[in-house]
Chains A and B, each alone.
Chain A
Amino acid sequence: MNEDILQINSVKKSFVRNIIDVRGKEENERFFIIDDLDLQIPREKITALIGGNGAGKTTLFNIISGFMSPDSGDIIYQAENKQMSIIGLLPYKITRLGIGRMFQDDHIFHDMSVLDNMLLADADDFGEFPFISIIYNRKNKIIEQERIEKANSIFKELFGEDNPFWEKRDEPAKSLSYGQQRLLGLARLFMGNYDLVLLDEPTAGVNPQIINQILIIIRSMVEEKDVTVFLIEHNMKVVLDLADFCSFMSHGKITAFGTPDDVIGNDEVRRTYLGV
């Protein structure tokens, strides 16, 4: 088996900007947000992706998870002795292949109950085809019960015996605090069977205590579940603490890759990104 779970090969992605100036003249301008980007993600390791605001990090995640298609280039995913290109696949197919994702702006189901948020994330979708749950009523009940148990045990494992998530399981997810919502977004990933998860700024905007919790959860993903983690992060302390490797994105390319210490110590990174 290849050591890299994901190989990103010369991916390009451009957007068109429509500019209208004061005199009312219009112009369209095409600019490359990702420009010939190459990157390998090592298996069962934590790789961080850093770069300035608007550098195109989230765009890269969108391309990996199928929400956007690149202009050109290829992405090879290596799962269980099977190697395949995931370009052109729909997002749900990519997820089914074992690539999970947590979004920068949450995307948990705010109006659904905390528990339903977990159940809907289950890898097994039995009963979700209409009428199946009515026809196989008994089997459906058993599976639903198992799902609930699974959610409960994930909550216990991640947040301890008496956790607020299980207590508030029937309340809408929007009743959780912001930090808790992020944690729910992470916990949800444990319901699926993922080999690779993409985390977009998991620690953004949450307090230090929850950051600690998040760090522990991410580590346990890798160490206990053998998951590979690829995360975007602006908090350098988190990167230094957590990541095995770090990549720096600028001008649409990966311009530095190595251990976090190396990359953060890199002259260019210090000058252009950290501003020191």
Chain B
Amino acid sequence: MNYIFHIIIIINIYIILTVSTNLLVGMANLISLAQAAFYGFGAYLGVLALMILKLPMIPTIFFVMFFTALLSLIIAFPSLRLKGDYFILATLGFQLIVFTVLYNWISVTRGPYGIPGIPAPKLIGIIPVSGIIPFLVLSSILAGFVIFIFYKLVHSPFGRVLKGLRDDEIAVKSLGRNVTNYKILTFAISSAFIGIAGFIYASYVTYIDPTSFNLDEAIFILAAVLIGGTGNIKGPVVGAIFVVILPELLRFVGFPSSIAANLRQIVYGLALIILMRYRPQGIAGEYKLQ
């Protein structure tokens, strides 16, 4: 049973990652390869809040959201001045810089040694949330909250501007909307919520190190979104479930774990190739990648 709960917790974390990333990829047509960097910001900021500032849970979440968004803007401002390929390349560059810094700035992040013993976040300052059931509840509530917020955003006038943006950026400009501002806001919102995923991950696993937030992870998050599909809420949710369940299924079928790890990657890769060819909107999405 605990095994299933564990899977659900991981799915919840990935739902937060993919639903937030979808705002960038599927709504604003910004393909970012820096998502793992934001995820890492969330995790390390969560550790900072829990271990050093000793904040209770709710303030920790706000702390993480705020500062992840702020750090993401350092990346967003320069990248957004670039178009197309160059934008993607810039996010890729930043992803690698963030990883190198997390990995090598040992005096602050402990680098490859990682940070063990992350304490349980405390609800209302006293009740610690630890153990699998409380995390199941916590992660489900947060994933539900993120889905709700993004649903609301997509169906608000703000969401309409974003849809306009991915459809025809020039037209949006000509109607008097400041396109750059909207992109920056989108970036900040997307990262703020990704920060939450980082926080849950860190406090659930109680140990983090930089390799959880490297370029492979960034590609993996992007793949999850694109496999599930972009442009609506359903797509990313399906994507998160797919990428988390698939390796478990492969294990279940009885592949030795050494091969299963490669095999699941091969399935993701093939899924991307085939979907891009025949169904660029992903399994359950509505927006065809442009």
The answer for the CA separation of A31 and B153 in the assembled complex, in Å, is 47
Inter-chain contacts of A188 with B (CB < 8 A): 175
Chain A: minimal CB distance from B190 (Å): 11
The answer for the CA separation of A131 and B168 in the assembled complex, in Å, is 23
A112–B177 contact, CB under 8 A?
Answer: no
Query: Of B157, B163, B176, B185, which contacts A126 at CB under 8 A?
Result: B157
Chain A: minimal CB distance from B274 (Å): 24
Query: Of B152, B156, B175, which contacts A120 at CB under 8 A?
Result: B175
Nearest A residue to B182 by beta-carbon distance?
A128
Chain A: minimal CB distance from B269 (Å): 29
The answer for the CA separation of A249 and B158 in the assembled complex, in Å, is 41
Q: Count contacts on A: residues with CB < 8 A to the other chain.
A: 35
Chain B contacts with A in 115-168, Cβ cutoff 8 A: 149, 152-153, 156-158, 160-161, 163-164, 167-168
The answer for the CA separation of A192 and B177 in the assembled complex, in Å, is 12
B177–A109 contact, CB under 8 A?
Answer: no
Inter-chain contacts of B245 with A (CB < 8 A): none
Q: Does A127 contact B (CB under 8 A)?
A: yes
Name the segment of A95-103, A223-231, A236-244 touching the other chain: A95-103
The answer for the CA separation of A91 and B167 in the assembled complex, in Å, is 18
Q: Does A5 contact B (CB under 8 A)?
A: no
Given contact pairs A96-B176, A109-B164, A128-B177, A144 touches B171 in the complex (Cβ within 8 A): no
Q: Does B70 contact A (CB under 8 A)?
A: no
Q: Does A133 contact B (CB under 8 A)?
A: yes
Q: Does A265 contact B (CB under 8 A)?
A: no
The answer for the CA separation of A90 and B177 in the assembled complex, in Å, is 10
The answer for the CA separation of A48 and B153 in the assembled complex, in Å, is 43
A130–B153 contact, CB under 8 A?
Answer: yes
B167–A92 contact, CB under 8 A?
Answer: no
Q: Does A134 contact B (CB under 8 A)?
A: yes
Query: Of A92, A100, A123, A130, which contacts B185 at CB under 8 A?
Result: A130
B156–A101 contact, CB under 8 A?
Answer: no
Given contact pairs A109-B167, A130-B153, A130-B189, A95 touches B158 in the complex (Cβ within 8 A): no
Nearest B residue to A127 by beta-carbon distance?
B157
The answer for the CA separation of A103 and B172 in the assembled complex, in Å, is 12
A107–B170 contact, CB under 8 A?
Answer: yes
Query: Of A107, A119, A123, A129, which contacts B158 at CB under 8 A?
Result: A129
Given contact pairs A116-B163, A128-B160, A130-B158, A109 touches B174 in the complex (Cβ within 8 A): no
B168–A140 contact, CB under 8 A?
Answer: no
A92–B173 contact, CB under 8 A?
Answer: yes
Query: Of A67, A127, A192, which contacts B170 at CB under 8 A?
Result: A67
Q: Does B89 contact A (CB under 8 A)?
A: no
A120–B176 contact, CB under 8 A?
Answer: no
The answer for the CA separation of A90 and B153 in the assembled complex, in Å, is 26
B164–A120 contact, CB under 8 A?
Answer: yes
Nearest A residue to B167 by beta-carbon distance?
A109
A128-150 vs B, CB cutoff 8 Å, 1 = contact: the mask equals 11111110000010001000000
The answer for the CA separation of A95 and B179 in the assembled complex, in Å, is 13
Inter-chain contacts of B176 with A (CB < 8 A): 92, 95-96, 123, 125, 192
Given contact pairs A67-B170, A109-B163, A112-B163, A127 touches B175 in the complex (Cβ within 8 A): no
Inter-chain contacts of B152 with A (CB < 8 A): 133-134
B168–A120 contact, CB under 8 A?
Answer: no
Q: Does A121 contact B (CB under 8 A)?
A: yes
Q: Does B258 contact A (CB under 8 A)?
A: no
Nearest B residue to A126 by beta-carbon distance?
B157
Q: Does B178 contact A (CB under 8 A)?
A: yes
Inter-chain contacts of B149 with A (CB < 8 A): 134
The answer for the CA separation of A125 and B158 in the assembled complex, in Å, is 9
**Which of B160, B170, B172 has the largest count of A CB atoms less than 10 A from its CB?**
B160
Question: Can you list 5 A-B contacts (CB < 8 A)?
Answer: A92-B173, A92-B176, A92-B178, A120-B177, A128-B177
16 further interface pairs, Cβ-Cβ under 8 Å (given A90-B178, A112-B164, A144-B157) = A91-B173, A91-B174, A95-B174, A107-B168, A110-B167, A112-B160, A120-B172, A121-B175, A123-B176, A127-B156, A128-B157, A130-B185, A132-B158, A133-B157, A134-B153, A192-B175
Give the interface of A toward B (CB within 8 A).
65, 67, 90-92, 95-96, 100-101, 103, 107-112, 116, 119-121, 123, 125-134, 140, 144, 188, 192
Give the interface of B toward A (CB within 8 A).
149, 152-153, 156-158, 160-161, 163-164, 167-168, 170-179, 185, 189
